[in-house]
A = this chain, B = another copy of it.
Amino acid sequence: MTDLARTLERQLWDLFADYDAAYAQAAEQVGLSAPQACVLVALADGDRTMGDLATVLQCDASNVTQLVGRLESRELVVRTPDLADRRARRVAITPAGRRQHRAVLKAFTHPGERIGRLTETEQRRLTQLLGKLRD
C-alpha cells in the first residue's frame, strides 16, 4: 500500500470517529440514544412494519421490538394493526416524535459545518469522488 492510501485510510477513520461522536451527541442533547434517533429517521418518511424496520436498521426483529417499545412508552411512535396482514404491525412516528426528530437534525450540525468549509467547486469534486468510492 502506498503512503497516500495510508493517509487516506487514516483520514477516513478520524473523520468517521468525529462523525459518530457528533451524531451520538446530537441525539443525546434531545434525550435519545443514537439507535433511537435512527428509528425516528427511518420513520420520518412514512410508517413501516416491524420487520421492515429490522431490515432498514440491519438488526434482529427482537431488537426492534425493544427499541420501538421504549419509544412507544415515551409516545414518540405508535404501533397500529396492519389491515392487510393481521400478523404484522405498522409503526408510525407521532407528532411528538417528529418534533424530536427535527430537534436531532437541528442539533446535528457537524456535517453541514464541515461541508460549508468547501467552495461549491470543491463540493462538486468531493461528491464525484465519494460517488466513485461507493460505486
Contact = CB atoms under 8 A, between A and B. Distances in A.
B123 A132 contact: no
A76 to B, nearest CB: 21
Contacts of A7: 127
Given A133-B118, A135-B117, A12 B8 contact: no
A87 interface: no
29 contacts: A1-B112, A4-B123, A4-B124, A5-B116, A7-B127, A8-B111, A8-B115, A8-B130, A9-B111, A9-B115, A11-B130, A11-B131, A11-B134, A12-B130, A13-B111, A14-B134, A15-B130, A15-B134, A16-B16, A16-B20, A18-B134, A21-B58, A115-B133, A117-B135, A118-B133, A122-B129, A125-B125, A126-B126, A126-B133
B12 A111 contact: yes
A20 B20 CA distance: 9
A85 interface: no
A120 interface: yes
Interface residues of A, number: 39
B21 A19 contact: no
Stoichiometry, as copies per complex, reads: 2
Interface of A: 1-2, 4-5, 7-9, 11-16, 18-21, 58, 111-112, 114-118, 120, 122-127, 129-135
